[in-house]
Amino acid sequence: MTRYFAKITATYVAKNKLCQELANIAKTKDAKILEGTDELEQYLENLKEHVALANAHHPRCKPEELTIYTPGDSHTCYMVYIPGLFHMSIFKEATP
């Protein structure tokens, strides 16, 4: 079974209440081991849902957008970030 490790690699100072709420959510999602691609997809969907709920909860703040991408053609690393708030890397476990 493929395993993944999610780790926040950079954080920035929150500029408003929305960013503070999202920063707190990101902290709860830090340093997680994900068992398999199904759990990875569920983890990413959960992050998207939290961002959407936080945006709805703070309508006066500029909405933030979660970006997810894989650098290059390999699926060994995923980059997840909200610009100006946090960057997270999700690494695939190396298999010998």
Residue 38 near residue 50, CB atoms below 8 Å: no
> 2-40: per-residue pLDDT in tens?
899 999 999 999 999 999 999 999 999 999 999 999 999
User: In terms of residue numbers, what domain contains 62?
Assistant: 3-92
**How many domains is the chain partitioned into structurally?**
1
pLDDT digits (tens, 9 = 90+) for 39-92: 999 999 999 999 999 999 999 999 999 999 988 876 788 999 999 999 999 999
- Contacts of 82 by beta carbon, 8 Å cutoff, 6+ apart: 22, 51, 64, 65, 66, 67
pLDDT at 96: 64
Buried b (16+ CB within 10 A) or exposed e, 26-45: beebeeeebeeeebbeebbe
Q: Is the pTM of this model over 0.85?
A: yes
